[in-house]
Amino acid sequence: MIPGARIQAAIELLDQIGAATVPADRLVGNYFRSRRYAGSKDRRSVTETVYDVLRRQGEYAWRAGGTDSRRLVLAHLMLDQDQKADDVAALFDAAKFCPADLDADEQVALAQLSQDASKEAPAWVVGNYPEWLHQPLTRWFGDDLGAEMAAMQGRGSVDLRVNMLRSDAAKAADALAEDDIATTQGTLAPTALRLQSRRSMINHPLYQSGAVEIQDEGSQLVALLCAAQPGQQVVDYCAGAGGKSLGLAAQMDNKGQIFAFDSAPQRLRPLRGRLQRAGARNIQVHALADAAAIAALATLEGKADRVLLDVPCSGSGAWRRNPESKWRLTAEKLAEYGATQGEILRRAAPLVKPGGRLIYATCSILMEENEDQIENFLKEQPEFEVLPISGVWHETLGTDCPSDDPYLHLTPAKHGTDGFFVAILQRRAKT
């Protein structure tokens, strides 16, 4: 593909992403599957342009005077790629597979982009997030908001979780090094290895054998902090594709029972194949609407040692990986997530045995989905109490907790992980 064709492909993809509700990576994958002529360098160049635009969309729109894809790409070429205005204009030449000529308004925008920005941009422009989110984000981050949003504009790391049923961190690191794949030990999770350069792992023998899984270090910590013990009964109520269920199985050494539930059967589908690859033998998989799931939940009421609620949320903690989601989020959608989270807490709480633990987790950096939910739950369920995260962390991991009590907060700027929130609640034992 010539440079102009790459630019046109990026514009087309941005148009599709802006009009859709499905994840951007799925749309990008579908786009190139129907365009087999595009080589690996073409795909990489176009994809990088698309994601760079999504990460800095607020800044680009402010400087270019509009949010349409053509203006955003103009801003990317001028501000990120540091190209000259004449060179950028030459890419919009209406040649075959290339963008149409710039119209009069776009020529004005290009001229503006070639000048130094004289007006100081508001915080939400610099931080590249929607203006309406400024107050919710400031609630938690305060003066740290600028640094945290700057970190959110970077690319997420590629982290591996070493499956302790198949290997250990040292052996996995050595095996990867033999294939010239450099890693570093995770700074927080003992199961985490971080790749020093980006590459696909799904065809690597270590992945194919189940010795490693691709999982952010923060996500690994959520499962570890369940502190599940061999022989216990554990419920992963919102299991999705089962990454945390697999981590729990390794933690429990395949002893005891894990019940992996989810409301959407399609989300659970990949888990069945992952179980075999990982050597996990103590996981039962159930779609919540199935008769078997309803029966299992009935038998588990008041008997579960651990109930993990990795609830649906805004995904604001993963904006590095899914930057399109911040532009799709609305106040109405955030309220819907909140209602769903509250309902899941109410439904799952009866499963916890006296003395057992309820672990509430989100990949969100918004207090509306985190602290506010826990406070509301405790008002309704006084038989539960918060266990300070520092104590659970030290008992489980043997190191000092990186977050202030009573909850765990992880962020890209401070911890190098995606943004996560974890609250651990214990049901009071009956007297």
Q: Residue 140 to residues 62, 217, 270: CA-CA distances in angstroms?
A: 26, 22, 35
The DSSP symbol for 240 reads T
Share above pLDDT 90 across residues of the chain, in percent, rounded to a whole number: 90
Q: What is the reported pTM?
A: 0.94
Q: Please count the other Cβ atoms lying within 10 Å of the Cβ belonging to residue 356.
A: 21
pLDDT of 9: 96
pLDDT of 430: 76
Element (H, E) at 160: strand 159-162
Q: For residue 236, give the 3-state DSSP assignment.
A: strand
Strand ranges across the sheet with 212-214: 183-185, 192-195, 159-162, 212-214
Locus of tokens 């499905």: 22
pLDDT of 292: 86
pLDDT of 38: 84
Please state, in angstroms and rounded to a whole number, the distance separating the CA atoms of residues 251 and 223. Answer: 9
pLDDT of 431: 63
pLDDT of 148: 97
In this prediction, residues 114-140 reach a mean pLDDT of: 90
Confidence of residue 280 (pLDDT cuts 50, 70, 90): very high
Please state, in angstroms and rounded to a whole number, the distance separating the CA atoms of residues 331 and 369. Answer: 12
Domain chopping of the chain, boundaries: 3-115, 159-214, 217-427
In this prediction, residues 363-373 reach a mean pLDDT of: 98
217-427 has the same fold as 159-214 = no
pLDDT in tens, 340-356: 999 999 999 999 999 99
Per CATH, domain 159-214 is 3.30.413.10 = no
pLDDT in tens, 202-258: 999 999 999 999 999 999 999 999 999 999 999 999 999 999 999 999 999 999 999
Q: Is the pLDDT of residue 118 over 60?
A: no
Pair of tokens at residue 107: 């020529």
Which residues face 309 on adjacent strands? 360
> The CATH number of 217-427 is which of 3.40.50.150, 3.40.980.10, 3.40.190.10, 3.40.50.300?
3.40.50.150
